[in-house]
Amino acid sequence: MKHSPKPKIGIITEDKTDADCVKILVKRISNDRVVSKGMGVGGGGNMFNVKKMTRFTQSLFAAGCTHLLVVHDLDRNRTTNELNDEKQLRVRLENALIHNPITRKTIIVPIEELEAWLLSDQYPHPQTISNPKNELRKLNCNYRTSDNAKIAGKINIDDITQKCPSFIPLQEFLKSIA
C-alpha cells in the first residue's frame, strides 16, 4: 500500500531566524507529520509588498507547498510604545497575499514578538513583556536571535500554549492539516 506524501507547509516570516524557529515548532507540534519549507523575507516591509509576496508564495507553491503559514510579529509603535493594531496588521498581510496561489493558509501574529513564546518557560505572562528579545538577552548575555531555533527545540510546548494565546492558532492550523 502506497503512503500519501506528508503535507508540505510553506512558511514566510520576517527573517531567517524566525523561519528557522517556526520550522522547529511546526515539526514538534505536528509530531513530524508535515514537512516545511521556510523563508525569511528580509524585514516586515517586504511582507506588505504584493509583488514580493506573490513571488515568495509562487516559489513555495512551485516547491510543492500545499499550505501557507505567514508569521509576523505585532510589534510596538515606536512613538507611543503601544502594541500596534493586530486587526490592521492582518488586513495588510491579507492584502499582500492577494495573488497567493496557496489557498490553505493562516496568518499567525505573535504578541509582541515571536521571542515571547520562547520566554514561556521562564515567565507567567510572556506576551506582556515589552521587548522579549531584550529579555532573552538579560537571561543570557550571549543570546542571539539565531539561538531561537535551538530554544524552540527544547521549550515546553504546553507552556507556550497555556501562556501565549497567540500561539494557539498555529497549533489549530497544524491539527487541521496532520
Asked whether 71 and 108 are in contact (CB, 8 A), the reply is yes
* Beta-carbon count within 10 A of 32 CB: 11
For residue 136, the model assigns a pLDDT of: 96
Q: For position 174, what pLDDT does the model report?
A: 95
Lookup: cell for 113: 514578538
> Residue 157 has what pLDDT?
97
CATH of domain 8-113+165-177: 3.40.50
- Rounded to two decimals, the pTM is 0.93
Cα gap 177→118, rounded to integer Å = 24
Q: Where are the domains of the chain?
A: 8-113+165-177
Cell numbers at 77, concatenated = 509603535
How many beta carbons lie within 10 A of that of residue 26, not counting itself? 23
Cell of 16: 531567517
Best CA proximity match to 174, nearest among 51, 36, 61:
36
Q: Which pLDDT score, from 0 to 100, does residue 42 have?
A: 77
- d(CA 26, CA 154) in angstroms, rounded, equals 13
Q: What is the pLDDT of residue 45?
A: 81
pLDDT of 44: 62
Length of the chain measured in residues: 178
Which pLDDT score is estimated for 15?
A: 93
- Residues 164/117, Cβ–Cβ less than 8 Å: yes
> With a cut of 50, which residues of the chain have pLDDT below it?
none
Helix (H, G, I), strand (E, B) or coil at 132: helix
**Residue 149, C-beta contacts closer than 8 angstroms, at least 6 positions apart:** 17, 20, 21, 23, 24
Residue 173: CB atoms within 10 A of its CB come to 22
Exposure on the CB side of residue 153, measured as CA atoms within 13 A: 6
